[in-house]
Amino acid sequence: MKRIVLASASPRRRELIKLISDNVICVTSGEDENLPEGLAVSEIPEYLARLKASSVAREYPDDIVIGSDTVVILDGRLLSKPASEEDAFQKLSTLSGRTHQVITGCCIVHGDKTLTFSETTEVEFLELSAQEINDYIATGEPMDKAGAYGIQGRGALFVKGIKGDYFNVVGLPVAGLKRQIEGFCKE
């Protein structure tokens, strides 16, 4: 397999991509992530993944470039990274006792070929008390994560169950991505 260039600054994605290949470098795209008007919430991850991958692919035309973006959606509403501790509390309170979707969009670019896809995982939260939420926020963990939680950290204590790929919730659907890369490279 050719070298993979992961267009991401995420430490979680940088760790997960190594499950697919050891021949990987990671480059931050630096692209402005402003969204166009009228873009559906479910289309955001693929749009941003394509933006990141296309930007980095210009610098690495001989490599397989992968961009990725993950969003948390509840009732058709995007739950982005919290802007403050109060915002984190509000997001976690909203997720309490409910099932939400985590969508990760991926884009693979090599030369003039591009493939974009997404994967959805459903995550069900336990009922959370205000104390549990405040204790979690005090760790600082939720502040840089979509939906204000990290399933790979203490946020796992809130999860009643998942339907779909666990690693998709962490930030990269590794099994699906590996298969997509293999198919993409055969074409």
- Catalytic positions are 69
Q: Give the C-alpha separation, 180 to 26, whole Å.
A: 19
- The two structure tokens encoding residue 93: 């309170």
Tokens 């298969």 correspond to what residue?
179
Torsion-angle region of residue 144: left (phi > 0), alpha (psi -120 to 50) or beta?
Answer: alpha
The dihedrals phi and psi of 75, each to the nearest 5 degrees, come to: 55, 40
Exposed/middle/buried for residue 178 (C-beta within 10 Å: 0-12, 13-18, 19+): middle
Q: Which of 141, 168, 39, 121 is closest to 81 using CA atoms?
A: 141
